[in-house]
Amino acid sequence: MSCYWVAEVVPLAVTALLPLVLMPALGVASIHTVARAYLSETNMMFLSSLMLSVAIEECQLHKRFALKMLTLVGARPQWLMAGFMFTTTFISLWISDTACAALMSPIAFSLLEAMMIHKMAPAHKRTGENQAGSQKRRDLESSTEPTRLDFSRLSKKDRGICKCLMLIVAHASLIGGTGTINSTAPNLIFRATLQKYFPGEDTGISYISWMTFAIPPMIGCMTASWLIVQIQFIGFRHIVRLFEAPSEEERMDEKYVSKTVDTAYNELGPMTFAEVSTLIIFILTIFSWFTSDPQVFDGWTVYFKKGYVTDACTGILAVFILFVWPREIPDFFFLRSKSDRNRLTIRRESLLTWDAIKRRFPWSVILLLGSGDMTLFPAKNARVHPLYLALPATIGPSFSFMLPMASPPNAIVYETGAMSMLDMVSLSETES
């Protein structure tokens, strides 16, 4: 099955269905055992996390946060890249790395257009033209601003800045996924594996203990990536200039970037009822995951029968509320004026709709989670502490920086044309 995944003979999610046929046929496990793995407690936890992220995307709450952070960090290239690194990493803690890269990549590209379009060199003119025609075209070019960013017409330094910013988006999306236990599929498979093969054991893995373990190295990797990407494509001198006064050209760039970010943020307007509601539900859900079994003190799950209520329960409850709570202020009878109480109640659309789930939800991930769990049967008899092998295997996939096809964030930024595949490979050799 791994060969099918690597070769992509059929879509990954279709390959993930093979255990449902092969394992019963080969006598490895019954169909009842295999089928249960595709909708386990871990899968329901991941399903609820993905639906929460879909709700955030639907109301554009993540875009508001990203633009607000960029208005605070300043517009110098070094600080701008640091701002993108921090913002993208933070957002990736709570939503999938693919959704995070899909959000931040257009924002980064629009900022590059604001910074770089006025720096583009004139396009090369064809030879053999008469003088009048050449002069006419020159006049036209001088009076018309280019509207599309062409990386080939930028200086080496400016191309380096473009590469840095787009690659930082991809790397931060992947690095941020290591920070929480439910942010990426490998993390959830890791937790499910411990629960499956060591039932009833105190593994010490909880939402808060994972963050305690993962956040410090995540911050270190985030900082290292920010430095290495800039040194690779712009040079160490670019980092040193962070502590020097900006040049006239840099001040002009800052002006363009600040204007672009401020305009985009102001276009969002004030926070809507949907954004506030989604934010409150999201914060309460995260708080419930933090306090369910924090290890350092008794969590709220001690008030229920042991093993009956888990993080998946609160996640599904939050999703249910998202499907019920309206996007606009409810049209309750008692909230209307006396003269307005005779009309019929207006039905409001909910924060999360099934149409949004059909459009945005990555159903293939659920199948991949189930099949990934089933491939672990042969590993049960390993005579090594499982965390020694499981933790590196869990964190490792989140550092797949080398090729566009290695991860969706890589593919998203590669499609912008800001960098070549060789750029990604050479950087990955240094960074990894």
The whole-angstrom separation of Cα 136 and Cα 366 is 60
19-26 and 363-374 helices cross at what angle (nearest 10)? 20
Domain segments of the chain as ranges: 38-120+147-431
One-letter amino acid at 106 equals P
CB 163 within 8 A of CB 233: yes
pLDDT recorded at residue 140: 38
The whole-angstrom separation of Cα 288 and Cα 285 is 5
Q: Which residues contact 176 (CB under 8 A, 6 or more apart)?
A: 88, 89, 90, 91, 92, 93, 97, 100, 183, 218, 222
pLDDT recorded at residue 401: 84
One-letter amino acid at 108 equals A
CB 221 within 8 A of CB 175: yes
First to last CA, the chain: 27
- Classify 419 as helix, strand or coil: coil
Residue 69 Ramachandran class (φ > 0 left, ψ -120 to 50 alpha, else beta): alpha
Structure tokens at 283: 């914060």
Distances from the Cα of 384 to the Cα of 57, 195, 379, 389, angstroms: 42, 17, 11, 8
pLDDT recorded at residue 192: 74
pLDDT recorded at residue 275: 92
Write down the pTM of the prediction. 0.67
pLDDT recorded at residue 128: 42
Buried b (16+ CB within 10 A) or exposed e, 67-92: bebbeebebbbbebbbbbbbbbbbbb
Mark the ranges of the chain whose per-residue pLDDT is less than 70: 1-2, 4-14, 17, 31-32, 34-35, 37-38, 42, 74-75, 118-149, 200-202, 295-296, 331-345, 362, 364-386
pLDDT recorded at residue 132: 45
Q: Give CB contacts under 8 A, 24+ apart, made by 1-5.
A: 1/371, 1/375, 2/375
